[in-house]
Amino acid sequence: MWIDDLTSNEKEVLRVGEIEEEYEGAYGFSYEISVYNYANLSVNNMKGALSSLVRKGILNHRRFKEDGNWWNYYTVTSSEKANELREYFKNA
């Protein structure tokens, strides 16, 4: 499975993210991952893992401004990947 090929930091980022309900975005259907509470990773390791997951085509990254603040949102690139992640971490 493709998840087994990820680094431990990448797996930790995906493990602690919340895969929320499906919505229709600019790239079709995907799932939002709320990224927070990285007790097991430093900020630099978290940012590196997120960037790597985007480069590998596992996550999409969108940045927007709301109420004067910039927000980063990461979404899984497909519903199939989101379902595989749910199953993988449910059984881990």
Q: How far apart are CA 3 and CA 13, in angstroms?
A: 12
Helical pair 8-16 and 43-55, crossing angle rounded to 10 deg: 90
Q: What is the mean pLDDT of each run of 10 residues along the chain (92 residues)?
A: 92 80 52 61 83 94 83 84 87 74
Q: What is the pLDDT of residues 13-36, one digit of tens each?
A: 888 876 666 555 544 455 666 665
Domains of the chain with CATH codes: 2-91 (1.10.10)
Q: Count CB neighbours of 81 within 10 A.
A: 19
CA–CA distance, 72 with 62 (Å, rounded to integer): 6
Helix (H) or strand (E) holding 31: strand 28-34
